[in-house]
Structure 1
Amino acid sequence: MSSILRHVALIPLFAGISLPTLALADEAEPGQIVVTGRGLEAAPAAVAYDVQVIGADRLAVAASGRLEDALSAAAGFQQFRRSDSRASNPSAQGITLRALGGNATSRTLLLLDGVPMADPFFGYVPLSALAPERLATARVTRGGGSGAFGAGAVAGTIDLTSAGPDQIGLFGGRALVDDRGETELSATLAPKLGAGYLVASGRWDRGRGFWTTPADQRVPASVRARYESWSTSVRAVAPLTGDVELQARVAAFNDARTLRFAGADTAASGQDASLRLVGRGAWQFDALAYVQSRDFNNVVISARTFLPTLNQRATPSTGIGGKLELRPPVGKAHVLRLGADWRFAEGHTEEDVYTAGVVTGHRRAGGTNRDLGLFIEDDWTLGPVVLTAGARADRWSVQSGRLDQVLSGVRTALAYPNRSGWEASFRGGAVINLNGSLALRGSAYTGLRQPTLNELYRSFTVFPIVTRANPALENETLRGFEGGVDWRPVAGLSFSATAFDNKVRHAIANVTIAPNVRQRQNVDAVHARGVELGAEAKLGTVSLSGSFAYTDAKVEAPGTALDGKRPAQTPRYAASATAAWHPSPRTTLALTLRHTGAQFEDDLETDVLPAATTLDAYAEVPVAGPFSLVLRGENLWDEAVVTRNSGGSIDLGTPRTLWAGVRVAFR
């Protein structure tokens, strides 16, 4: 926490504002201003891109209670591996869409109330710190973006919006236990304060975990995937004037896990703070500043000797950033957005190298990344037609890269050359509303992603594979286009279909260079073509929703063994469907069926992860006063979900898991 306190003082200076004094009030007076707690409304042509909104009702019925489970309602959403945030290495929690993966770094930009959530060093998302019960909506936009923080959105953007008192009520909490004796506790307090409000929340999960190692591959050193995580956040929203509001948030989390072998402990922690000023007057604006302090540690255990081979004992990193977006009054037919954003990431890894269980070396590696983006975008409404066009220019830099190590008495000290440059990206599209129920849309876009500090400087091992860093990596760039149709034949019924063609040039992949050795390298491109389908129906108390993605993704690397092969960890098919029944406001019964197609563990298509189909269930029934009974079932068919396959040595995902508990809610 001390690290973030050193930086948090920068936020008011960056934003040029100070915190107001909030007065507690039981309720708003007649005519008193009530704030929204959100950013500016989406521009009219946002629907020119493939957008799926996951509401609070769908987020709430995730059988695992985990965000990654809830976001899987958007077919094609994936982490690098299939494991959820209880049984995977945090550094593998990079998220992507449209099979544009290839390594564990996020190619999809995830925002929480406008703030980028990816780790400043690794680029992974701390999913266990983002509880679904704290959210109002998740807006998933596939395809590249050129607006604020658009550098990094080469596969799309997921925009999370926090819930306020209107969604949460004054107090909400729940306590659950599963059939392995694992527990989940959470609570949220959301009082209204004058015309504003405060939301304070906390969550604690712990358990002995399940066996990720199949029974026939276990050894005396094998252990269950133990986990313990907690997260807490406080968010305040208050009006400054009739059309200007201030949003402030502080948060902290810690997530500890043990994977495969005794002593193979990993942990991630962080503290975040942000301030946001939103104006909804004639000159609309959104000013944001944030600071993040993160850390990561990981012990690698040999699968032969069961002794440590590497202790990545610390990876401290800091992220600082902000944006200013303006929407000047240019007439009812236009929505003009212009502004700038800035991001700074600094971090390094501190490692001890072991031989036969004895420390024989040390390594420190890291550097800094910067990005300054300038963007402009305009939506123009011409009757039933909405046109949009935008441009972005990024000044990026890679600086202060160093490797200092001592291995078996031999010292190496390398300072890598600084690099910088300008990169331009564009996007544009159109929506044609043919009648009140049918709309045609099309768009084209380019994009940019800078290599993370992790990709540039940190090597890692997932036994027996060693993956080396590469300080010479170039930026990834995207070119893509898509077309689609949205059809709403009657109220409560909607269908969507999108065909797309996306290519990430200079894509960073983990490339095999020798037996059991890989290196992060730029390949010519990852090219993905496909179709995405969505449907939703609300029939009285029954709701049905579904999403399907087919993606033909290939690596383009002429003259190499990779050419024409699918990127690692990318399925061809993915689908999700949920049926829910809400006979009363406090009663919910839901089933979710999810399918993920077969995918390859590695870039050479050597080891297969078979297709997997799982069925989840959620039930909530009131029992007395504010108390409700909650039942959840994960993977009810007990499908064997293979999450890792290295020459036949495999890891498994979550088996059948049954939860029961109680939920309390005071409005």
Structure 2
Amino acid sequence: MKAHLLAAASLCLAGPALAQTGAQTAPASERPDEEAAPRKAQPTDATGAEIVVIGEGLPDTPSVTAYASRELTREQIVAAPSGRIEEVLGAVAGFQQFRRSDSRSSNPSAQGVTLRALGGNATSRALVLLDGVPVSDPFFGYVPLTALAPERLESIRVTRGGGAGPFGAGALAGTIELESAGVGTLPPLGASVLVNDRGGTEASALLAQELGAGFVTAAGRWDRGPGYFTTPEDQRVPASARAGYESWSLALRGVAPLSDTLELQAAGLVFDDRRTLRFEGADSSASGADASLRLVGRGAWAIDALAYVHTRNFTNLVISSSRFTRVLDQRNTPTTGIGGKLELRPPVGGDNVLRLGLDYRRAEGELQEDAYSAFSGALTETRRAGGTTSDIGLFVENDWTSGALVLTGGLRLDRTRIGEGFYIARTPDRAVVTEELTPSRTDWTLSWRAGATYALDEQLRLRAAAYRGLRLPTLNELLRPFVVFPVVTQANAALENERLVGYEAGLDWTPALGVELALTAFDNRVEGAIANVTIGPNLRQRQNLPAIDARGIEAGLRVESGGLSFDGTLAYTDAEVDGSGATLALDGNRPSQTPRWAAAASLAYEPAADWLVAATLRHVGAQFESDVETDRLPPATTLGAYLRAPLAGGFALVLRGENLLDERIVTRNSDGDIDLGTPRTLWAGLRYGF
């Protein structure tokens, strides 16, 4: 493992690296929206040239305009009624978690995220990046949502559709890019404390300080609450428990200039998350420590070099739904993930932006669990399973601009490896019950993307794109069975890579000042889609389906007038399974956990400085619990509200309301045994400094 860590570090520090986005933008001090603002003297280098610390990656390339993307501003991010990142992302219709539960009342391993109704799997099919670093859990593929506090972020961009480029092997359904806020946005000192009507608390603190020519930011957050009963009242038993939760996270980030064009960025994150679901004793935990180092050069030869390491763990206790005793203790899942990238953007001419690079990711983990008799409580079996996965990718992409026309194209070659896999089950006296050793295997995959945009005039731009993407199975899918009692889902060490081929076309129209309309039609096909396939009563197995086809339309509308703003998105997706052979019975079925309709809208009003009043509406259409189209989850529409009112001395009153109409949100349905989502929840508190 030390060798792998050294290799990842060398990716970041080895010299000219390989770059990420596109043509150079003006330094922050020269951007139009800052020209009128007074600014203090900036540090200079030995020649007297001004050094501008940005704290971001390289600027975007023209290719951004060719794909269906949506930006979320900081005001939208911090005004979420729940104060949680999954609701923020829900402002983009088509964003979906495996289940409708939020990160206070779901099992952490079910927090996979996807786009374009390509769900049916708890693993993420969308690539989530925080300041350029993949954040998904190396073993499970879920996103640690509680560790991504909205108040720490500057902006979010959601790009739907498969992607090449750095870490493109994870961007099967699209990319979600989170950008941390810097010293220009965060207060020197900020704090927030809120309580809700069930006794839950949320507390956060922020610190941002300039240090020499650079800056450092620090942030912490702690959430705790007794939760609510996810079990309906008519199904509760004495063992039923509220969905209690407690989580905390600490983030530290530093940015320092090494020269007038070279910048070093370092970041660290630690978190711990504990929850109870459904029954007393059904406790889970997810914890981790992440670190990254990034070198960004904005000179003639633009560079972006990155190295990171994730250490994570997960535990889970499964309680019998009939006898309410412990039946499975997934007591330890230590996992390490490492990775990095090198990018180079050579100066090839004003009309072209060329990106060359490579990236690497590796995951190593092991599951340790004990099975118990539901009747006697005695230990019946101990199990261990583990292995490694890795991916190294080479990519090249070029954008060419000629007047109103932008053409972009890229290729990516991935070598994926699955190795050292094993599953061993023993009796309490250590006799071997099952021992499976999985031979290592490698695969080479060529993926690509291409797009074009053409501006008919200043108001209307047309775009079209095509792409082929890749996703490697996670260690969880390959090795770890799980139980949502009484349904058992088996792992499958023979799973193959998922591959997506997609096409889309759309337009971006600005018919009037402050009005933006976006419309996209898409056709995506995931070949070898990994799904939980029913193979018997209360028994499923992860299998590669022949394909999942998803076709649909996405629309977005933004309107701004004075202090009033509206942001709305709508997605309709017709998704179905292409089944054959053993999965022929699924042919034509809608994938599990996949709605046809999704919509989101927010209306915000700023009547005066530092005031904000906002309302949000979310709708998720009906979906099925399983692949055989049984146990329907009805549609759900929720209304939320947010109010920030300034007080004296830098303080502000904050009021938030979740699910104000108390909609009944069914998040799980197993033959009539259901779980419910967040009921009406009211928050009140104070915020200082931000």
Aligning the two structures, in what range does the TM-score lie when normalised by the shorter sequence?
Answer: over 0.9
2:647 match: secondary structure = strand
Amino acid at match of 2:574: D
What is the CA deviation profile of residues 325-361 of structure 1, one whole-angstrom value per residue up to 9, with x for unaligned ones?
A: 1110000100001100000000010000101321111
1:478 match: secondary structure = strand
Who is 1:22 aligned against? Answer: none
CA contact 2:11–2:305 (8 Å) conserved in 1: no
What is the CA deviation profile of residues 260-311 of structure 1, one whole-angstrom value per residue up to 9, with x for unaligned ones?
A: 0000000000000000000110000100000000000000000011001100
How do residues 46-57 of structure 1 correspond to structure 2 at under 5 angstroms? 46-57=64-75
Measured after TM superposition, the shift of residue 193 of structure 1 is 1.2
How do residues 471-490 of structure 1 correspond to structure 2 at under 5 angstroms? 471-490=493-512
Measured after TM superposition, the shift of residue 415 of structure 1 is 0.8
2:242 match: secondary structure = coil
What is the CA deviation profile of residues 413-433 of structure 1, one whole-angstrom value per residue up to 9, with x for unaligned ones?
A: 221111002100011010000
Please, which of 374, 385, 408 is the counterpart of residue 365 of structure 1?
Answer: 385
The separation in 2 between residues aligned to 1:232 and 1:347, in whole angstroms, is 24
The separation in 1 between residues aligned to 2:13 and 2:510, in whole angstroms, is 45
Measured after TM superposition, the shift of residue 493 of structure 1 is 1.1
Who is 1:436 aligned against? Answer: 458
Task: Say whether residues 1:380 and 2:377 are aligned partners.
Answer: no
Who is 1:646 aligned against? Answer: 670
Measured after TM superposition, the shift of residue 16 of structure 1 is 2.3
The separation in 1 between residues aligned to 2:106 and 2:84, in whole angstroms, is 13
Who is 1:229 aligned against? Answer: 247
Please, which of 269, 273, 276 is the counterpart of residue 294 of structure 2?
Answer: 276
Task: Say whether residues 1:87 and 2:105 are aligned partners.
Answer: yes
Amino acid at match of 1:53: E
1:584 match: secondary structure = coil
Amino acid at match of 1:159: E
1:363 match: secondary structure = strand
Task: Say whether residues 1:612 and 2:648 are aligned partners.
Answer: no
Of all paired residues, the percent bearing the same amino acid is: 59
1:70 match: secondary structure = helix
CA contact 1:511–1:520 (8 Å) conserved in 2: yes
The separation in 2 between residues aligned to 1:660 and 1:430, in whole angstroms, is 48
Amino acid at match of 1:248: A
- Residue 9 and residue 587 in structure 1: after superposition, are their counterparts in 2 closer, same or farther (change >3 A)? farther
How do residues 127-276 of structure 1 correspond to structure 2 at under 5 angstroms? 127-276=145-294
CA contact 1:27–1:192 (8 Å) conserved in 2: no
TM-score by length of 2: 0.93
Who is 1:447 aligned against? Answer: 469
The separation in 1 between residues aligned to 2:613 and 2:162, in whole angstroms, is 36
Who is 1:413 aligned against? Answer: 435
1:191 match: secondary structure = strand
Measured after TM superposition, the shift of residue 12 of structure 1 is 4.5
Who is 2:422 aligned against? Answer: 402
CA contact 1:334–1:379 (8 Å) conserved in 2: yes
CA contact 2:398–2:409 (8 Å) conserved in 1: yes
Q: Following TM superposition, where does structure 1 have runs of at least 4 consecutive aligned residues deviating by more than 6 angstroms?
A: 5-10
Who is 2:12 aligned against? Answer: 15
Please, which of 359, 363, 366 is the counterpart of residue 345 of structure 1?
Answer: 363
The separation in 2 between residues aligned to 1:7 and 1:217, in whole angstroms, is 50
The separation in 2 between residues aligned to 1:407 and 1:151, in whole angstroms, is 40
What is the CA deviation profile of residues 142-185 of structure 1, one whole-angstrom value per residue up to 9, with x for unaligned ones?
A: 00001100001110000100001111121211000000011000
Please, which of 527, 530, 537 is the counterpart of residue 552 of structure 2?
Answer: 530
Task: Say whether residues 1:549 and 2:549 are aligned partners.
Answer: no
Please, which of 59, 72, 80 is the counterpart of residue 90 of structure 2?
Answer: 72
CA contact 1:76–1:98 (8 Å) conserved in 2: yes
Who is 2:445 aligned against? Answer: 423
Amino acid at match of 1:280: R
The separation in 1 between residues aligned to 2:88 and 2:277, in whole angstroms, is 24
CA contact 2:528–2:546 (8 Å) conserved in 1: yes
Measured after TM superposition, the shift of residue 206 of structure 1 is 0.3
Amino acid at match of 2:408: T
Task: Say whether residues 1:570 and 2:586 are aligned partners.
Answer: no
Measured after TM superposition, the shift of residue 58 of structure 1 is 0.6
CA contact 1:32–1:195 (8 Å) conserved in 2: no
- Residue 7 and residue 259 in structure 1: after superposition, are their counterparts in 2 closer, same or farther (change >3 A)? farther
The separation in 2 between residues aligned to 1:261 and 1:566, in whole angstroms, is 31
Task: Say whether residues 1:499 and 2:521 are aligned partners.
Answer: yes
- Residue 463 and residue 56 in structure 1: after superposition, are their counterparts in 2 closer, same or farther (change >3 A)? same
Task: Say whether residues 1:461 and 2:483 are aligned partners.
Answer: yes
CA contact 2:11–2:341 (8 Å) conserved in 1: no
The separation in 1 between residues aligned to 2:177 and 2:5, in whole angstroms, is 24
Amino acid at match of 1:439: R
Amino acid at match of 1:524: P
CA contact 1:250–1:273 (8 Å) conserved in 2: yes
CA contact 2:204–2:221 (8 Å) conserved in 1: yes
The separation in 1 between residues aligned to 2:532 and 2:427, in whole angstroms, is 24
CA contact 2:526–2:549 (8 Å) conserved in 1: yes
CA contact 1:8–1:273 (8 Å) conserved in 2: no
Amino acid at match of 1:565: N
CA contact 1:643–1:653 (8 Å) conserved in 2: yes
2:586 match: secondary structure = coil
Measured after TM superposition, the shift of residue 15 of structure 1 is 2.2
1:256 match: secondary structure = strand
CA contact 2:357–2:395 (8 Å) conserved in 1: yes
CA contact 2:599–2:619 (8 Å) conserved in 1: yes
2:606 match: secondary structure = strand
Measured after TM superposition, the shift of residue 47 of structure 1 is 1.2
CA contact 2:12–2:341 (8 Å) conserved in 1: no
CA RMSD of aligned residues (A): 1.5
The separation in 2 between residues aligned to 1:638 and 1:579, in whole angstroms, is 20
CA contact 2:253–2:268 (8 Å) conserved in 1: yes
The separation in 2 between residues aligned to 1:304 and 1:7, in whole angstroms, is 46
TM-score by length of 1: 0.97
Measured after TM superposition, the shift of residue 406 of structure 1 is 1.1
The separation in 2 between residues aligned to 1:447 and 1:29, in whole angstroms, is 44
1:59 match: secondary structure = helix
1:47 match: secondary structure = helix
The separation in 2 between residues aligned to 1:461 and 1:412, in whole angstroms, is 19
Task: Say whether residues 1:107 and 2:125 are aligned partners.
Answer: yes
Who is 1:23 aligned against? Answer: none
The separation in 1 between residues aligned to 2:618 and 2:395, in whole angstroms, is 38
Measured after TM superposition, the shift of residue 9 of structure 1 is 7.0
2:679 match: secondary structure = coil
The separation in 2 between residues aligned to 1:464 and 1:288, in whole angstroms, is 44
Please, which of 332, 338, 348 is the counterpart of residue 314 of structure 1?
Answer: 332
Task: Say whether residues 1:580 and 2:598 are aligned partners.
Answer: no
Measured after TM superposition, the shift of residue 492 of structure 1 is 1.6
Please, which of 654, 661, 668 is the counterpart of residue 630 of structure 1?
Answer: 654
The separation in 2 between residues aligned to 1:589 and 1:66, in whole angstroms, is 18
1:654 match: secondary structure = coil
Who is 1:517 aligned against? Answer: 539
Amino acid at match of 2:334: P
CA contact 1:27–1:194 (8 Å) conserved in 2: no
Q: Which moved more, 1:120-129 or 1:559-568?
A: 559-568
Who is 1:63 aligned against? Answer: 81
Amino acid at match of 2:111: Q
The separation in 1 between residues aligned to 2:11 and 2:463, in whole angstroms, is 39
Measured after TM superposition, the shift of residue 29 of structure 1 is 4.8
Who is 1:291 aligned against? Answer: 309
CA contact 1:94–1:107 (8 Å) conserved in 2: yes
What is the CA deviation profile of residues 209-237 of structure 1, one whole-angstrom value per residue up to 9, with x for unaligned ones?
A: 01100000000000100000000010001
In the alignment, structure 1 segments of 5+ residues that lack a partner are 19-25
2:185 match: secondary structure = helix
Aligned residues: 656
